[in-house]
Amino acid sequence: MIRRSLGELYESIREFLVVTDDDGVVIGCAALHVFWQDLAELKCLAVAESAQGRGVGRMLVDACWNAARELEIQSVFTLTYVAEFFEKCGYQRIDKADLPHKIWNECVRCPLFPSCNENALIRTVGAPATLAGTNHALATVEA
């Protein structure tokens, strides 16, 4: 995950979903960042080690997808080192180069940029989330 300043966290606080345990301790979080009318990013997914394997990550991914659907967003992408997890959640791998350039705004601050090994995945409404199924949404964003 990319380090964020306190100001950046406050600016994006409403994008975050949080899961707490019975004692009110945060055990997971994720954010849905809207880029355009039909494209959003699921980002900052994190689950405490003590809570992994209990469905918390899946709950957050599903909640972000449902939030995107409520906003009538057609496609949600993510950049991750754990592609297999997102594939189990209905996401399909795509080439990072097929994503709009504006999504790289945060990446340029990462110490691994531009040699990042993250995988890009996407889930799209109404069609298998394949590269061919997402070209329309991505082309619309770039236009």
| Residue 58 belongs to domain with CATH number | 3.40.630.30
SS3 label, residue 36: strand
The CA R_g of the chain, rounded to the nearest whole Å, is 15
Give a yes or no: residue 1 inside a domain.
Answer: no
81-127 residue pLDDT tens: 999 999 999 999 998 888 876 666 666 666 666 667 788 999 999 75
- Tell me, yes or no, whether 56 lies in a domain: yes
Give φ, ψ of 59 to 5 degrees. Answer: -60, -45
- 90: tokens are 């209905």
Entry pTM = 0.77
28 within some domain? yes
Expressed as residue numbers, the domain containing 129 is: 6-142
| Domain tally, the chain | 1
